Chain A
Amino acid sequence: MASISLKKIVKQYGQQAATIPGLDLEIRDGEFMVLVGPSGCGKSTTLRMIAGLESVSDGELRIGERLVNDVAAGERNIAMVFQSYALYPHMTVFENMAFGLRVRKTPDAKVREQVEATARALGLEPLLQRKPGELSGGQRQRVALGRALVRNPDVFLFDEPLSNLDAELRTQMRAEIARLHRTQGTTSVYVTHDQVEAMTLGDRIAIMNGGRLMQVGTPAELYSAPDNTFVAQFMGSPPMNIFSGQRDGTRLRTAFFEIELPTATAAALPTELQVGLRPECLSTTGTAATLNGRVEMIECLGHEGLAYLAAGDTQLRAKLAMEQLPQTGTDAVLRFNPADLYFFDTNGERIAATSVEPAGTALETAGA
């Protein structure tokens, strides 16, 4: 068990611009840290640097107290679960799980004991003599987990381990990984591009984009207090609606609505800004502010649905209960609580001081 510390980590290939220009991240002992971001954001590279599969160009990488920049992968006492599972196809499940122990010259009896214990914990016992080719995707995933577990490593690394599974298995394995982490408590770093996985698994989530860290925090923090439009749109499904707004005195004007802001809030806002509103914060009932837009399309998701509204060139999505869904082609009036609005500057950075909570009641009347 160990913490992981990345200080000004740089990854550069040849003479090209750095893939990761300088990353600072502290992963606490026993924490489940999820690295999430779009493809090419550097999350896998970061993971592979922690693993020792990629060299660190600059900066300091510590596992526990030990500086591991130049420590070989095999010396870091880390286990990794690969996206492709990377099981040795010519070895049985038992041999796959025993491989790491055997290269370390563990006595046979101990190998057997440890492999069997891990297999029991994962329900792999009946599969021990099979080869990976005879296993289903879920079973292979479980073997890959078992192989990582059996060595009792300080850190677990997961590189998109669930992306090759179908939706149902993915949910199941996700729960399994969560359970494992709860029982083992091993420091884990988990790379994914799926925000649902990130939200459900992570103690904390580090969102990356273009090699830079956008925000680190608990799932709840990231959802409720995104630092920028990237994080705001990355977390939540469907993503937060962001559209431009103009402040004229204390009035905030957007393509969909116009409301009166509390003076304190208005004072903190520039005249040109971006306004964020989560689709799930819209409703047809309630006494909050209203917005108008033409219904271009609706999508039914079962117990709820999405309505695509347009006002001029601007679009937004609203997640509504089924019975609230408007007709396509009509003009709809939806209600929202101005307290749910997020304000960002034109660069996408959150304007920090804009808590709209105190002014909530005052605005209701203005909107109505």
Chain B
Amino acid sequence: MPDLRKYLQIAALWLLGASALLAGPASAEEIRLWHAYRGEEKAALENLLERFNATVGHNSGHTVIPLAIPFDSYADKLSAALPRGRGPDLFIFAHDRIGGWALSGNTIAAVDDFASAAILERFPQPLRDAMSFEGKLYGLPFNFKSVALIYNRDLVPEPPATAADMLALAKRHTDQARGHFGLAFEYTEPFYHGALLNAGGGAFSADGELQVDSSGAVGALHTLREWLATGALPSEPTSALVSGLFNQGRAAMVINGPWMLSEIDPTIDYGVAPLPLLDNGEPLSPWAAVEGLFLSPASKHPQAAWALVEFLTSDEAALEMATTGKQLPANSAAFSFPEVQQNPVAMAFRKQLDTAQPIPNLAEMTLLWTPLRTALQRTVKGTATPEEAARELQAGVQQDIDTLRAQQQALTNQQNTQAAPLWPWLLIPAGLIAFLLTGTRRRRIAAGLQEHRTAASFVGPAAIGMLVLVFFPLAYGLLLSFTDTTMFNEHTPLSSRWAGLDNYVAILSDWRIWNESGVRFDNFYWTLGITIAWTLVNLALTVLLGLGLALALNKPFRGRNLVRVLLILPWAIPNYITALIWKGLFHPQFGAINQFVVLLGGDPVAWFDTVTASFFTGVITNVWLGFPFMMLVILGGLQTIPSDLYEAARMEGASRWQQFRRITLPMLRPTLLPAVVMSVIWTFNMFNVIYLVSDGAPAGANDILITKAFRIGFEKYQYAYASAYSTIVLLLLLAYAIWQTRVTRMTEAAK
């Protein structure tokens, strides 16, 4: 049994190594700091940390070890590491996750005991509020960001003081025919809508209840519609469009944050001013995002970590962040340094802070973003009145919030909210190995490995890769789908999250496809119908186009090779690039397609406003991406048909059409079938095109199952529900594949 022993040894080593990785060593003298800073802000932070290590840290015997984490994975990494006590001692993050973290426990530590009144004096009240949740302080503010009015000084010498002035000014600088607009901002993005929404009372009441259907919130939607009615704002604004228009001098004013400044063309002379006052004298009050310094509850050196927090929020540090880091420090003292006072841009953003409101740090807020975007889009497009949109928004988000609160209630009722350790997961592979190593199976496997040792060594790495990268996530996703996991209870023991088939029942038993205001686009069966229609239309068009082009290319003609290369090109370009290009082409105001339509004397089409037009944009893009593959496959198939079959048919008097019908088509079947199967599966799951071109517009009507699953998982953070959704997608495709192979086998057997 030498071989068996060897395998066991390897398995044991693997388990050992894995557990060592999970335990994670910690040095007594290190303070670990995580952040997602880049460029200037990172340089400033590192300067400060160096200074700290040389002074305060040196005296107390502590060294700060910073770790810059890529922004995209930062939140997930924190959520995964902190509750398990494996994260940093302190970290820098936006304040809006405080509520969720505070409720789920074990993620951030309350710092009321550390923070003296003198320290708190450093920050303006809104920033202090931002760091508090349910009466507790969870960290100190470090930097803040909010939008303000950025204007082109050549066009707008003096910033407007009131919204009425702003719109009048904007109208004067608008010339739609030339693509000039007075005012541009991403008004369908919830973050930018904050300025209007907060002036109307905000999304949540003082006691944390959702109030997006309040008269103030509805009024905010009305105001937005009035602004748009002036025609001074471009339609379907994206951040690229806004900065593009401003850089080309085609937008007199934009509402944007400090992150845009570095992108402004050096030839543009710009100024920054706080947003103007509304007609009722109330200021527009944009949302402020606050970067906070947070302590981990698992930190072994909370005192030293706090010393670093105090150091980083000191006046001297604030000056460094403002000058070297080009940030807006939370410490007000920064703005009394002459270096900063001479910077009108910084001072303007600082002034805006007086009327800004921190983004609510309630856990409920995370559930609002995507539905609010949909409501904004519907209002802007006129598919819903502000009242309707607000009512639906309130009802939908309130339902999600109730679910979330029920979950949290269940959580607090449980005694054990200790983070579940990861190691039980290792029992699965270990059990699998043990199972494989029992009885005759072991002998058979050992004999098999022995006999095909070379083969096993070649297959091994790929098999391990598949196991780790495919089967494990698949099994985990399946497991997840039987729970009620969301972002907020992710760290609790699996048993406490068990929900059986609830998710599947909820998805499949919801037959309410219509309600009084029309189709419910988030219904599973609507999405399934759209997905099937999407797949069939794409398949039909790609096959037809591919067949036609393949037939044309099959006959030799001058320049055939060139044409073939040109036709394959769409396939050779990464599909997300193509998708983004098509999205640009379909832009109602700036897209080439509408310009062409106008040139031909038609009216511009609002491509993303109706279900059919929006569906069409996706189909066009996907057919463009998909036909070269079909063409190549069919061309290959055509070339395998012996030419003497056609000669024989000609001898028998068959016409071209009869030759095509009776020889070409049936002979293409064997090559076409696998291509169709693959194409169906690809199209069914063609995430990129839907997500990047129509983005499910309008209001998620054109989402296919896979983009819907993504939205549920990563915009609503209902991980388990999304898993169940994905599992259903998988089962549908599996059923299709089985059916398809059975049909193929049957037709083959019939031959």
A and B assemble together = yes
Q: How distant is the Cα of A75 from the Cα of B653 in the complex, in angstroms?
A: 6
Given A86-B648, A88-B662, A104-B653, 6 more A-B residue pairs with CB atoms under 8 Å apart are A53-B651, A73-B651, A99-B662, A100-B653, A103-B654, A151-B652
- B667-694 contact mask (Cβ, 8 Å, vs A): 1 or 0: 1010000000000000000000000000
The smallest C-beta distance from B666 to any residue of chain A, in angstroms, reads: 4
Q: Is residue A84 within 8 Å, beta carbon to beta carbon, of the partner chain?
A: yes
Q: Mark B293-336, 1 if CB is under 8 A from A, else 0.
A: 00000000000000000000000000000000000000000000
Query: Beta-carbon contacts of B634-659 to A below 8 Å, as 1s and 0s?
Result: 00000000101101111111110010
Cα(A67)–Cα(B622), bound, Å: 54
A90 beta carbon closer than 8 Å to chain B: yes
Among the listed A52, A80, A104, which residue makes an inter-chain contact with B648, where contact means beta carbons less than 8 Å apart? A80
Chain A nearest Cβ from B663, distance in angstroms: 6
Known: A84-B642, A99-B662, A131-B751. A53 touches B654 (CB 8 A): no
Closest chain B CB from A98 CB (angstroms): 10
Question: Known: A89-B667, A103-B653, A104-B653. Is A53-B645 also a contact (CB below 8 A)?
Answer: no
Contact indicator A103/B667 (Cβ below 8 Å): no
A-B contact pairs, 6 of them (CB 8 A): A53-B647, A74-B650, A80-B651, A100-B653, A103-B658, A133-B751
Roughly how many angstroms separate A72 CA and B647 CA in the complex, as a whole number? 11
- Taking a contact as CB atoms closer than 8 A, the residue among A51, A90, A151 that contacts B666 in the complex is A90
Q: In the complex, which residue of chain B has the Cβ closest to the Cβ of A100?
A: B652
In chain A, what residue has the closest Cβ to B658? A103
Residues of B within 8 A of A (CB): 642, 644-645, 647-655, 658, 662-663, 666-667, 669, 751
A82 to B662, CA, bound (A): 19
Give bound CA distance, A246 to B9, whole Å: 94
Chain A 64-104 interface residues, beta-carbon cutoff 8 Å to B: 72-75, 78-80, 82, 84, 86, 88-91, 99-100, 103-104
Contacts of B654 in A (CB 8 A): 74, 99-100, 103
A84 near B653 with CB under 8 A, answer no
Contacts of A80 in B (CB 8 A): 647-648, 651
Q: In whole angstroms, what is the CA distance A96 to B253 when docked?
A: 76
Q: Tell me whether A74 and B652 are in contact (CB under 8 A).
A: yes
Task: Please indicate the chain A residues that have their CB under 8 angstroms from the CB of B647 in the complex.
Answer: 51, 53, 73, 80, 82, 86
Given A90-B667, A103-B658, A131-B751, A84-B644 contact (CB < 8 Å): yes
- Please name the residue on chain B nearest to A83 by beta carbon: B644
A99 to chain B: closest residue by CB = B652
In the assembled complex, the CB of A64 is this many whole angstroms from the nearest CB of chain B, namely: 17
- Distance in angstroms between the alpha carbons of A103 and B656 in the assembled complex: 11
CB distance from A77 to the nearest CB of B (A): 9
Chain A residues near B658 (CB, 8 Å)?
Answer: 103
Contact present for A74 and B669 (CB under 8 Å): no
- In the complex, A89→B667 CA distance in Å? 8
Please count how many residues in chain A sit with their CB below 8 Å of the partner chain's CB atoms: 25
Is B649 in contact with A99, judged by CB distance below 8 angstroms? Answer: yes
CA distance A232 to B58 in the complex (A): 111
Binding site for B on A (CB under 8 A): 51-53, 72-75, 78-80, 82, 84, 86, 88-91, 99-100, 103-104, 131, 133, 147, 151
A residues within 8 A CB of B653? Answer: 73-75, 100, 103-104
Q: Is the CB of B751 within 8 A of A79?
A: no
- Bound Cα distance from A235 to B747, whole angstroms: 51
How distant is A34 from chain B, measured CB to nearest CB, in Å?
20
- Distance in angstroms between the alpha carbons of A75 and B651 in the assembled complex: 8
CB of A303 to closest CB in B, whole Å: 41
Kindly list chain B residues whose C-beta atoms are within 8 Å of the C-beta of A99.
649, 652, 654, 662
B667 (CB) vs chain A CBs: closest residue: A90
Q: Is the CB of B751 within 8 A of A103?
A: no
CB–CB B645/A86 < 8 A? yes
Closest Cβ of chain A to B736, distance in Å, is 25
B653: nearest residue on chain A (CB-CB)? A74
Q: A189 to B46, alpha carbons, bound, how many Å? A: 93
Chain A residues, CB < 8 A from B648: 80, 82, 86, 88, 147
Q: Are B655 and A103 touching (Cβ within 8 A)? A: yes
| A86:B650 contact, CB within 8 angstroms | no
Pick from A88, A104, A147 the residue with the most CB of B within 10 Å: A88
Nearest residue, chain B, Cβ from A144: B648
- Of B644, B649, B651, which is within 8 A of A78 by CB? B651
Q: Are B655 and A88 in contact (CB under 8 A)?
A: no
Q: Which residues on the B side are within 8 Å of A79 (C-beta)?
A: 651-652
Contact A90 to B652, CB < 8 A, known contacts A82-B644, A84-B642: no
List residues of chain A with CB within 8 A of the CB of B667: 89-90
Q: Which residues of A contact B650 (CB under 8 A)?
A: 52-53, 72-74
In the complex, what's the smallest C-beta–C-beta distance from B566 to chain A, in angstroms?
A: 28
Minimum distance in angstroms from B280 CB to a CB of chain A? 78
Chain B residues within 8 Å of A53, by CB: 647, 650-651
Residues of B within 8 A of A78 (CB): 651
Taking CB as reference atom, which chain A residue is nearest B666? A90
Q: Once bound together, how far apart are the Cα atoms of A359 and B647, in whole Å?
A: 56
Q: Which residues of B have CB within 8 Å of A90?
A: 666-667, 669, 751
Residue from A72, A78, A99, A133 with most neighbouring chain B CB atoms (10 Å): A99
Q: How far is the CB of B125 from chain A (nearest CB, A)?
A: 81
Residues of A close to B651: CB separation below 8 A: 51-53, 73-74, 78-80, 100
CB closest chain-A residue, reference B645? A86
Q: How far is the CA of A78 from the CA of B650 in the complex (A)?
A: 11
Determine whether the beta carbon of A88 is less than 8 Å from that of B652: no
| CB proximity of A307 to chain B, nearest CB, Å | 44
Measured CB to CB, the closest approach of chain A to B420, in angstroms, equals 59
User: How many angstroms between the C-alpha atoms of A78 and B647 in the bound complex?
Assistant: 12
A86 close to B666 (CB less than 8 A): no
B644 / chain A contacts, CB cutoff of 8 Å: 82, 84, 86
Known: A53-B647, A99-B662, A103-B658. A86 touches B652 (CB 8 A): no
Assembly CA distance A219 to B266 (angstroms):
97
B663 touches A88 (CB 8 A): yes
Separation of A90 and B662 alpha carbons in the complex (Å):
9
Contacts of A133 in B (CB 8 A): 751
Pick the residue among A52, A75, A86, A131 that contacts B642 (CB under 8 A): A86
Closest to A89 in B: B667
Q: How far, in Å, is B680 (CB) from chain A's closest CB?
A: 23
- Residue from the set B648, B653, B751 with the largest chain A CB neighbour count within 10 Å: B648
How far, in Å, is B664 (CB) from chain A's closest CB?
Answer: 11
CB-nearest residue of chain A relative to B670?
A90
CA of A88 to CA of B648, assembled, Å: 9
Residue of A nearest to B654 (CB): A103
Set of chain B residues within 8 Å of A86, measured between Cβ atoms: 642, 644-645, 647-648
Instruction: List the A residue with the shortest CB-CB distance to B665.
Output: A90
* Of B648, B651, B654, B751, most A-chain CB atoms within 10 Å: B651
Residues in B neighbouring A72, C-beta threshold 8 A:
650
Q: Provide the bound-state CA to CA distance between A86 and B652, in Å.
A: 12
Bound-state CA distance A175–B647 (Å) is: 27
Q: Which residues of chain A are near B655, meaning CB under 8 Å?
A: 103
Which residues of the other chain, B, contact A103 by a CB distance below 8 angstroms?
Answer: 649, 652-655, 658, 662
Chain B nearest CB, measured from A46 CB (Å) = 15
Q: Give chain B nearest CB distance to A215 CB in angstroms.
A: 29
- What residues on A are CB-neighbors of B751 within 8 Å? 90, 131, 133
A-B interface, 9 closest residue pairs, ranked by CB to CB distance from nearest: A74-B653, A100-B652, A86-B648, A86-B644, A90-B666, A73-B650, A103-B654, A80-B651, A82-B644
Residue in A closest to B659 when the chains form the complex, CB atoms: A103
Max chain A Cβ within 10 angstroms of own Cβ: one of B642, B652, B658, B669: B652
How far is B652's CA from A74's CA once the two chains are assembled, in angstroms? 5
Which of chain B's residues have a CB closer than 8 A to the CB of A73?
647, 650-651, 653
Q: Which residue of B lies closest to A104 (CB)?
A: B653
Chain B proximity of A131: nearest CB distance (Å): 5
Q: In the complex, which residues of chain A have a beta carbon less than 8 angstroms from the beta carbon of B642?
A: 84, 86
Q: How far is the CA of A259 from the CA of B372 in the complex (A)?
A: 117
Give the distance to chain A from B648, nearest Cβ to Cβ, in Å.
Answer: 4
Residue of B nearest to A51 (CB): B651
A185–chain B nearest beta-carbon distance, Å = 21
CA distance A205 to B648 in the complex (A): 25
